[in-house]
A and B are shown apart, each in its own frame.
Chain A
Amino acid sequence: DADVTQTPRNRITKTGKRIMLECSQTKGHDRMYWYRQDPGLGLRLIYYSFDVKDINKGEISDGYSVSRQAQAKFSLSLESAIPNQTALYFCATSESRGFEQYFGPGTRLTVT
């Protein structure tokens, strides 16, 4: 089945460390997104990419960076993790002419 995968699924890291979350998809979709979800705050868009050469900031990009290595791979980096980046992180994909977004299983990140 065409799918969206995320690695790692769980990560505990310390303040100040650099970490990378990875997303891969076999759906053949051009568009990829990174969200974080916090209790009481809902899903918020961090970055999105419409193709390999097109990367855009979302509403909460500060403290994050991304890399689109290929059509199927989109990575999120925290350059220097801080405790308020503790959250559930989701990758999502969509077709180039579609509005529906399909989510990966998520990465639970804890920054101590």
Chain B
Amino acid sequence: QKEVEQNSGPLSVPEGAIASLNCTYSDRGSQSFFWYRQYSGKSPELIMSIYSNGDKEDGRFTAQLNKASQYVSLLIRDSQPSDSATYLCAVTRGAGSYQLTFGKGTKLSVIP
């Protein structure tokens, strides 16, 4: 069973701080990696995708990928209360697959 592991949290950070969310995956063939944000009772919203080792920045969000360590992370700079949500990590199921395996999510709470 290919798995995606995330710390369920809750992760609490003060407003303005950096939030760091982590994800590990078991399938070495996975090639594409995504972060989704899900507010309570709402649908997952794609916020970042990353395909190669290193960092990818988009506004206050930075995704980091290390395939050798099978590790993906999401950094949120200058965290805002509106960032309070559950963050889902998703990875493709092996080489060439378009199916995604999702982690169970990390709940982030940004304290004003």
Contacts and interface: CB of A to CB of B under 8 A. Distances in A.
A41 B3 CA distance: 12
B99 A58 contact: yes
B98 A31 contact: yes
Contact of B104 (A31, A42, A100): A42
Interface in B46-82: 46, 49
Interface residues of A, number: 20
Interface residues of B, number: 19
B54 to A, nearest CB: 18
A48 interface: yes
Contacts of B32: 99
Interface string A85-110: 00000100010000111111110000
Instruction: Specify the main secondary structure of chain A where it touches its partner.
Output: strand
Contacts of A41: 104
A43 B46 CA distance: 14
Nearest to A91: B43
B34 interface: yes
Contacts of B100: 45, 99, 101
Contacts of B104: 40-42
Nearest to A102: B46
B27 to A, nearest CB: 14
Interface in A29-78: 31, 40-45, 48, 50, 58
Contacts of B92: 99
Contact of A100 (B34, B42, B43): B34
Interface of B: 32, 34, 36, 42-46, 49, 88, 90, 92, 98-100, 102-105
Closest 10 CB pairs of A and B: A42-B104, A103-B43, A43-B102, A99-B32, A106-B43, A103-B44, A42-B102, A105-B43, A100-B46, A100-B49
